[in-house]
Structures are given as C-alpha cells and as structure tokens.
C-alpha cells in the first residue's frame, strides 16, 4: 500500500469551499444526532374525568419525520441554506 506523505497545495478559495462543505455536513449531522429531534411533539395532554380517560394525548410526529432527509440532501448537494 502506497501512502502519500507530502503536502497538498490548494488555493484559498478551495480551502474556503472545503470549510463551508465541512460546516454543512457538521450541521446536518448535529441535527440528526440531536435526540430531541427524534421525539414526537405533544399537542395536548390527555384529558380525564373522574379518573377516566376521555381524550388521549394528541401527538405530532418528530421533526425528523417531517424532514425526511431533506437537510442531508441539501448538505450533500451544496445548498448553503441547509439549516
């Protein structure tokens, strides 16, 4: 196996592009890694009358459910508005 141990030279513009790309990937990973984004949202609590459940809690699916991978696709595509 050959291993290149020399230095690679890139322009300042290429360096800036790589930093931006890295930031997009990091933000997308942080979004998907955040456990709270996987939790459903409580719309309203369960309602009880005399200890009897009359209305179950109403839940909305998680943010990840609604995202459906959009943030990842935007980050990979190079969309600077991936947030």
Side-chain-side CA neighbours of 8 within 13 Å: the count stands at: 6
Q: What is the pLDDT of residue 3?
A: 64
Q: Cα separations (Å) of 4 from 1, 7, 8, 17?
A: 10, 8, 10, 23
Position 82 scores a pLDDT of: 56
> What pLDDT was estimated at residue 81?
65
pLDDT at position 4 is 66
Determine the pLDDT at residue 9: 85
- How do the domains of the chain map onto residue ranges? 12-77
The per-residue pLDDT string of the chain (83 residues; one tens digit each, 9 = 90 and over) reads 566 677 888 899 999 999 999 999 999 999 999 999 999 999 999 999 999 999 999 999 999 999 999 999 999 998 766 56
């Amino acid at each position: 196996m050959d291993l290149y141990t020399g230095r690679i030279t890139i322009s300042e513009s290429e360096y800036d592009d790589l930093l931006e790309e890295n930031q997009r990937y990091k933000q997308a990973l942080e979004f998907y890694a955040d456990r709270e984004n996987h939790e459903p949202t409580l719309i309203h609590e369960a309602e009880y009358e005399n200890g009897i459940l009359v209305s179950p809690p109403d839940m909305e699916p998680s943010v990840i459910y609604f995202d459906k991978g959009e943030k990842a696709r935007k980050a990979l595509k190079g969309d600077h508005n991936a947030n």
